Structure 1
Amino acid sequence: MKSIGIEKKKARWGYVFVTPALLLFLIFSLYPMLNAFYNTFFNIKLLSLRPPKFVGLKNYSYMLSSPGFWNSMKATAIFSLGAFIPLSLFSLIFGLIVTTRRRHQKILQLLFYTPAVLSSVVAALIWMLIFDPRGIGNSVVNFFLRTPGVDHNWLTNTGMLRFSTITIYIWKYIGYFTIIYVTGIAKVPTSILEAATIAGASAMQTIRHIILPLLRPTTMMVTIVTMLNSLKSFSTQYLFTQRGAPLEPIDVVTLNIYNTAMRDLKISHACVMSVLLFLVMMSLTLVRMKSSEKDVTVY
């Protein structure tokens, strides 16, 4: 009997450990995605006893001509851009601040990361209390503007409502991405930094010409994850509308999908929006990855 090599044994045990995760992915991720795509070609209503009727591409045609869907795309674009740019920029700045300090680095990392531990629902509830007419939000703004007693309508005015949801999202996730940048900066070889110091490079020159170029893989990951998470945001907008906030300014695609499926019982239309959102996310991801293929820096 031939003996089995150590590499083959490792490979077999690798398959054993990977199989449960693969099965869970196939059952709870891949199958629902394929089933949702299949449902887009039928007229399916939740709780209806009638058999689904094949309608071809009519659901796609209806959704692409729906004002409600394009309003959701607009709300999603505004929210995503409003959250994506500050998160990508300030998480990098905070990461540089944390890594350049000689003292209290752990405390700063803890303070930044603490909001990320909270669930999205808890974070939204905390900020809803802050944005209450009697909350600290109005008090702070009125203190700086010297307008005592003024209600700035955080949860009713269109612009303030969008600003509020973006603020909550940034507050919750900026610490998470800051820690990612801290990890990326820590991987920069100290020999390169020491050589730059010996060569007389200033701190800004070191950051601009050494740290930032070597952080491009980390930056690509952060920008992609930030973009995808922003496009999938749901809980904050849902809780705000449940507390009486107007729906139209914050009716992001995910919230529209939920309302279409659970309130209007139109499963097919919800599946179409899910597929379209997936295509948008995939396209943006491919564009971002393609744009970073040539941004490789080697020292």
Structure 2
Amino acid sequence: MKYLGIEKKKARWGWVFVMPAIVLFLLFSLYPMLNAFYNTFFNIKLLSLRKPEFVGFRNYIYVLNSPGFWNSVKATVIFTLGAFIPLTVFSMVFGMIITTRKAGQKAMQLMIYAPAILSSVVAALIWMLIFDPRGLANSAVNFLMRTPGVDHHWLTDTVMIRVSTITIYVWKYVGYFTIIFVTGIAKIPQSVLEAATIDGATAMQTIRKVILPLLKPTTVMVSIVAMLNCLKSFSTQYLFTQRGAPLEPIDVITLNIYNTAMRDLNISRACVMSVLLFIVMMILTLIRMNSSERNVVSY
């Protein structure tokens, strides 16, 4: 009987444990992606019994010349920029506040992270009650602006509904990225911070000259991951439109993909938009990987 070394045995058992995850990835991730790309070259209608017709790049040409698609691109860009910038800034600020506090650190982490464990639908329903004309949002804004009784149309006005969806997303996910910043700050050696204090640096100088530069890899990662997540946002916009909100201001690409496939029954054009979104996300992922390699920090 051939003798197997301990390393080969470990490698064999490693494949045994990893194989279920690989099989699930191939079945439920890789195959649907390849199938979606394949479907873009055919004219496939949902619920149609006709044999799909090969149309080449006709679906891509139609989508790229569609005003609805470019409106979705505009809505997605506005939502992404409006959400990921506050997400990055607030999560960094909260992370620094948490790490500098002596008392109540765990309680603050729990309070900030709590919305992240809610489902997106539940979060949207909570905020729809807040954005109701008689809800807390109007009351708070009217109290601050001293305009009692004014309805600010959170769910009907073009600008306000964009602000509403961005607010919900930031509120829900800021705790998740705060924990990442807390971890990044905790990795900074205490000796580096003590050296800055001994050299006479103030708290603001320590943050600006020491902590922020050393947090650059974490900041890059959080900003790119937040941007990717914003590009995939769907449930809040879908729920708002189902409750009567105007579609055009919040018709992000994911919502357009859903409506094209399920409402218009055109699977091929929905797959085209999915492929285009996938390409954009891949480009952003490559940028993140390259940025991470260039921003390796040595203490």
The residue type equivalent to 2:37 in the other structure is F
Q: Look up the match of 2:176.
A: 176
Which runs of 5 or more residues in structure 1 are unaligned?
Answer: none
Shift of 1:293: 4.1
1:262-291 CA-to-partner distances (Å, cap 9, x unmatched) read 000000000000001111111223234434
Larger deviation, residues 207-216 vs 237-246? 207-216
Which runs of 5 or more residues in structure 2 are unaligned?
Answer: none
Once residues 150 and 123 of structure 1 are traced to their aligned partners in structure 2, the CA distance between those partners, rounded to angstroms, is 25
Secondary structure (helix, strand or coil) at the match of 1:150 reads: coil
The verdict on how the C-alpha distance between 1:136 and 1:272 changes in structure 2, with shifts beyond 3 A counting, is: same
Q: Look up the match of 1:122.
A: 122
Once residues 176 and 111 of structure 1 are traced to their aligned partners in structure 2, the CA distance between those partners, rounded to angstroms, is 11
Shift of 1:209: 2.2
8 A contact 1:72–1:252 mirrored in 2: yes
Shift of 1:210: 2.1
8 A contact 1:165–1:237 mirrored in 2: yes
Q: Look up the match of 1:187.
A: 187
Q: What TM-score, normalized by structure 2, do the two folds share?
A: 0.97
1:227-248 CA-to-partner distances (Å, cap 9, x unmatched) read 1000000000000000000000
Once residues 142 and 202 of structure 1 are traced to their aligned partners in structure 2, the CA distance between those partners, rounded to angstroms, is 39
CA RMSD, Structure 1 to Structure 2 (Å): 1.2
1:244-269 CA-to-partner distances (Å, cap 9, x unmatched) read 00000000000000000000000000
8 A contact 2:142–2:149 mirrored in 1: yes
The residue type equivalent to 2:131 in the other structure is F
Secondary structure (helix, strand or coil) at the match of 2:294 reads: coil
Once residues 182 and 292 of structure 1 are traced to their aligned partners in structure 2, the CA distance between those partners, rounded to angstroms, is 18
Q: Look up the match of 1:17.
A: 17
Once residues 10 and 204 of structure 2 are traced to their aligned partners in structure 1, the CA distance between those partners, rounded to angstroms, is 48
Q: Look up the match of 1:87.
A: 87
Q: Look up the match of 2:100.
A: 100
8 A contact 1:220–1:289 mirrored in 2: no
Larger deviation, residues 160-169 vs 212-221? 212-221
8 A contact 2:46–2:267 mirrored in 1: yes
**1:63 aligns to 2:63 (yes or no):** yes
Q: What TM-score, normalized by structure 1, do the two folds share?
A: 0.97
Shift of 1:2: 4.2
Q: Look up the match of 2:32.
A: 32
8 A contact 1:220–1:288 mirrored in 2: yes
Larger deviation, residues 242-251 vs 221-230? 221-230
The residue type equivalent to 1:266 in the other structure is N
Q: Look up the match of 2:296.
A: 296
Residue identity (%)? 77
Secondary structure (helix, strand or coil) at the match of 1:159 reads: helix
The residue type equivalent to 1:223 in the other structure is S
5 Å-filtered alignment, 1:216-235, equals 216-235=216-235
5 Å-filtered alignment, 1:278-289, equals 278-289=278-289
